[in-house]
Amino acid sequence: MSLKLDMNLKLDITPELRQMALRMVLGTLLLGGVVYLAVGMPMLEARRLTQEIAQTRQRAERQKLLMPSWALISQFSENATLAALLPPAPQPVPRTSVYTMPEQLSQTARALGVEPLEVNLNPASLAQDPGTIQLTGIFSGQLEGMRGFLSVVAGMPSLSALDKMELRAVDGHLELFLQLRLALTN
């Protein structure tokens, strides 16, 4: 087999040249494999480790945010008595003053650093249970304020039931949706 170059040179491929070309191709492939093992693999491993470190740091940051809450819960559990775990004695709100409850709840939230976005009474809920009225509210704030606010809501003497509660993180703060029922008296 012969190859002809542009310079009219005739090149005869001998078995020795074929063997040398095969060795060069194999050598190039082997060199490429060694370079991949020596350079490519450590780079991929470094990228994977960097991602794992970032995930671990994020988990640690979340745990740092939750640690004060866990410490407080732990402290309360050590000092807890049965009386502290029982709900307060119910004190229904007179029907004539129930309309002030949204404003009172809003003022309580503001005092604890939580911004009330919307607080409303649902008069239609009286049809379901004439002894209670539904109050819904959306609040925005930081974890500390939300914790205190939820403690106050849980301790409300007029609280009959907590129908729904949703807490979600939104752009560096928390949003709380509450749907609760207040006991009424004539």
Domain residues of the chain, as ranges?
Answer: 11-86, 90-185
Residue ranges for the chain with pLDDT beneath 70:
1-11, 77-89
In the numeric block, which tokens belong to residue 167?
């807490």
* Predicted pLDDT of residue 75: 72
Three-class SS of residue 13?
A: coil
**Nearest by Cα to 147 from 120, 172, 113, 181:** 113
User: pLDDT tens, 8-55?
Assistant: 666 678 888 889 999 999 999 999 999 998 888 889 899 999 999 999
φ/ψ (deg, to 5) at 2: -135, 150
* Predicted pLDDT of residue 30: 94
φ/ψ (deg, to 5) at 181: -120, 135
The amino acid present at 49, given as its one-letter code, is: L
Indicate the CATH number of 90-185 among 3.40.1410.10, 3.30.70.60, 3.30.460.10, 3.40.630.40. 3.30.70.60
* Predicted pLDDT of residue 109: 95
What is the rounded radius of gyration, in angstroms, for the C-alpha atoms of the chain? 36
In the numeric block, which tokens belong to residue 15?
């078995």
